[in-house]
Chains A and B, each alone.
Chain A
Amino acid sequence: GQQLNQSPQSMFIQEGEDVSMNCTSSSIFNTWLWYKQDPGEGPVLLIALYKAGELTSNGRLTAQFGITRKDSFLNISASIPSDVGIYFCAGVHTGTASKLTFGTGTRLQVTL
């Protein structure tokens, strides 16, 4: 099945650094979502975006819905050890609101 392209695939950063990751698609989505998944757990929703160009924050997290509606970006400021995990983007097509199309994931590791 289709999976959205996320980059980078993995990243090692030091505590306190800012992190940026992005997600691209060949097709348009009307909603973009960002999830975090810890080992052995299901994904947990971080941020939801509903409008092209929208910029939304949730604490140290900021995400943007790309103008073309084919991409989205997630930034994490001042990373802390508990930010470790896998971050997934997910898109929702108009008319298929029940179905999420997930990205390939970005694995984040934070060193002290």
Chain B
Amino acid sequence: GAGVSQSPRYKVAKRGQDVALRCDPISGHVSLFWYQQALGQGPEFLTYFQNEAQLDKSGLPSDRFFAERPEGSVSTLKIQRTQQEDSAVYLCASSPREGTHYGYTFGSGTRLTVV
């Protein structure tokens, strides 16, 4: 597609519920990134994929967060047993190059609200 597509745009989850957020990167982009943006803050790095390999997951806040990119294209960020502090906008970005910020293109994000 022309840009990075994220779905759903909005998600309301009850505390304790599992959620799955989807990212469709730009076709052919090798690198894929997930960021978490709390209200009034800048985005914070969660994890990075190069093709299907998850090379950096140092930003995942707990073992309730899990990301995958099994075929090196679409990625899913899964949050288990959601908590109120998980409420944030989750941004996905992709890049045509390996392991750099060059050509980073962000999606519009998924706004998760945990009630």
Chain A interface (Cβ < 8 Å from any Cβ of B): 1, 3-4, 31, 33, 40-45, 48, 88, 90, 92, 96-105
Interface residues of B in 16-57 (CB under 8 A from A): 31, 33, 35, 40-45, 48, 50, 55-56
Report B23 CB to chain A, min CB distance, Å: 11
Given contacts A1-B45, A103-B42, contact A45 B104 (CB under 8 A): yes
- Of all chain B residues, which has the CB nearest A6? B42
> Are the C-beta atoms of A97 and B100 separated by less than 8 Å?
yes
**How many residues on B have C-beta within 8 angstroms of the other chain's C-beta atoms?**
27
> Are the C-beta atoms of B42 and A102 separated by less than 8 Å?
yes
Q: Cα distance A99–B43 when bound, in Å?
A: 11
Contacts of A44 in B (CB 8 A): 106
Instruction: Return the contact of B48 from the options A33, A88, A98, A105 (Cβ within 8 A).
Output: A98
- A/B pair count, beta carbons within 8 Å: 65
Instruction: Return the contact of A100 from the options B4, B31, B45, B108 (Cβ within 8 A).
Output: B45
> Are the C-beta atoms of A42 and B4 separated by less than 8 Å?
yes
> Are the C-beta atoms of B31 and A98 separated by less than 8 Å?
yes
> Are the C-beta atoms of A3 and B99 separated by less than 8 Å?
no
Report A3 CB to chain B, min CB distance, Å: 6
> Are the C-beta atoms of B108 and A3 separated by less than 8 Å?
no
Indicate whether B59 reaches chain A with its CB closer than 8 angstroms: yes
Contacts of B33 in A (CB 8 A): 98
Contacts of B43 in A (CB 8 A): 43, 88, 100, 102
> Are the C-beta atoms of A42 and B91 separated by less than 8 Å?
yes
